[in-house]
Amino acid sequence: MLAEYAVRVQESRGRRYPEPPHPYRNDFQRDRDRVIHSRAFRRLEAKTQVFTRRYSDHFRNRLTHTIEVAQIARTIAAALDLNVDLVEALALVHDVGHPPFGHAGEKALDAAMRRHGFFFDHNLHALRIVEDFELRYAAFRGLNLTFEVREGIIKHSRDYHAGQFPELAEYLLDRRPPLEAQLIDMADEIAYNTADLDDGFEAHLLTLDEIRAGVPVFERFYREVEPLYPAAIEKLKFNEALKRMLDHLAGDLISNTQARIRKASIRTLEDVRAFAQRLVTLSPEVEEERRETKQFLSQNLYFSITLDPEKSEAEKVTTELFDFWMEHPEDLPANYQDKASEEPLPRVICDYIAGMTDNFILEQHERYYRSS
């Protein structure tokens, strides 16, 4: 049973190009499947989340992170009586616009674009992917996803203003996204805050003592675990505490969102869209715990001296390749040369680089830049 304020697939605004209904899958299920079978989704397996494979094959990449977000988001959506099919499609597509090398690659690509009067935004790039770049169907370009999935790609993590982004006018920029889209950003936060503690600990970049001292919510659960499993090895106690922390964050998100929905007297999807703030949030106390965790990770992991060489190399490779193709557009693949006759060259180069995997961009750098 869906809540009254959930998105109903029968009331979808539909696809850009009308298609006949499928005999045994609804439209949001079809969107989910189209994302899974897309080339952009497959490439996530070879894109950095935080750690490259120099550390271990066991760490998260963009694909495994995406799968974890989908699992968390489905669980929360079911507890809130939201449309799980829509939530799953949105979770699986939410990171397809990210370039290689994680946030270091995104930073370098945006900086390169800004030197030419443009910018890079991974949400907008994801929309370009599903609207245009994916070529799988004879009847249309892109994946022809439903309006609700395309809207969620744009609006799940930030608000875009119509005056600044007139090209997005169809996506109801003056209205809030549905709860199904709102929860993706929070599921993403829960996933990477806990996963990055795990991977940082596994990589020996974070010690147990550092985590216990710097992340109070983890320390609270570790103290619960110690007397329950006195003979367990340190890693298993760590796992038990982290599991409880994840459940604590997800549970609070569910209960606090339910309370906010009741307090705001939300009855319909239109109520959700018209409400002044996003409704899917943590309670103030747990939001503070989330901020403390994120601050700890930023200070001790994301900006750690140990990771600096890899991040610097990522930014160098991205920047040098971008500059090389700006000077030598004739060395772009033929289809991108064709695009450059219709779109600004910086945008075409950005599109090409953003779609690359870590391995492919390193190969291209070796081929084009170092041989020049």
The pTM of the full predicted model, rounded to 2 decimals, is 0.95
> Average of pLDDT values for 164-182?
96
* Lowest-confidence region among 156-165, 236-245, 262-271: 156-165
- The whole-chain average pLDDT of the chain stands at 95
Q: Is the pLDDT assigned to residue 100 strictly greater than 90? A: yes
> Among residues 362, 352, 8, which one has the least CA distance to residue 178?
8
> Average of pLDDT values for 115-125?
97
* Whole-angstrom distance, CA of residue 90 vs CA of residue 83: 11
Q: Is the pLDDT assigned to residue 262 strictly greater than 80? A: yes
> Average of pLDDT values for 22-35?
98
> Which is more confidently placed, 370 or 149?
149
Residues whose CB falls within 8 Å of the CB of residue 100, separated by 6 or more in sequence, listed in order: 47, 48, 314, 318, 353, 356, 357, 358, 360, 361
Categorize the per-residue pLDDT at 3 as very low, low, confident or very high, splitting at 50, 70 and 90: very high
Categorize the per-residue pLDDT at 309 as very low, low, confident or very high, splitting at 50, 70 and 90: confident
* Whole-angstrom distance, CA of residue 333 vs CA of residue 340: 11
Tell me the sheet residues that pair with 48. Answer: 61
Q: Token pair 């329950």 is at which residue?
A: 228
Q: What pLDDT is attached to residue 234?
A: 96
Domains of the chain, first to last: 9-308 (1.10.3210.10), 309-369 (no CATH)
Q: Is the pLDDT assigned to residue 153 strictly greater than 80? A: yes
Q: Is the pLDDT assigned to residue 154 strictly greater than 90? A: yes
pLDDT tens-digit readout, 230-245: 999 999 999 999 999 9
State the sign of the Cα–Cα–Cα–Cα dihedral 47, 120, 353, 302: negative
Residues whose CB falls within 8 Å of the CB of residue 98, separated by 6 or more in sequence, listed in order: 44, 47, 62, 105, 106, 122, 354
Residues 269/6, Cβ–Cβ less than 8 Å: yes
> Based on the number of CB atoms within 10 Å of its own CB, is 163 exposed (0-12), middle (13-18) or buried (19 or more)?
exposed
pLDDT tens-digit readout, 333-362: 999 999 999 999 999 999 999 999 999 999
* Whole-angstrom distance, CA of residue 295 vs CA of residue 297: 5
> Average of pLDDT values for 298-321?
91
Q: What pLDDT is attached to residue 81?
A: 98
pLDDT above 70 covers a percentage of the chain that reads 97
pLDDT above 90 covers a percentage of the chain that reads 90
Categorize the per-residue pLDDT at 307 as very low, low, confident or very high, splitting at 50, 70 and 90: confident
* Whole-angstrom distance, CA of residue 285 vs CA of residue 78: 24
Q: What pLDDT is attached to residue 53?
A: 56
Share of the chain residues as helix, strand and coil, in percent rounded to the nearest 5: 65, 0, 35
> Average of pLDDT values for 292-317?
92
> Based on the number of CB atoms within 10 Å of its own CB, is 52 exposed (0-12), middle (13-18) or buried (19 or more)?
middle
Q: Is the pLDDT assigned to residue 369 strictly greater than 80? A: no
pLDDT tens-digit readout, 54-83: 656 678 899 999 999 999 999 999 999 999
Categorize the per-residue pLDDT at 52 as very low, low, confident or very high, splitting at 50, 70 and 90: low
Q: DSSP string covering 271-335, please?
A: HHHHSSS-S----HHHHHHHHHHHHHHIIIIIT-GGGHHHHHHHHHHHHHHHHHHHH-GGGS-HH
Hey, is 177 helix, strand or coil? coil
* Whole-angstrom distance, CA of residue 148 vs CA of residue 130: 13
Categorize the per-residue pLDDT at 310 as very low, low, confident or very high, splitting at 50, 70 and 90: confident
Categorize the per-residue pLDDT at 370 as very low, low, confident or very high, splitting at 50, 70 and 90: low
Residues whose CB falls within 8 Å of the CB of residue 355, separated by 6 or more in sequence, listed in order: 40, 43, 99, 129, 133
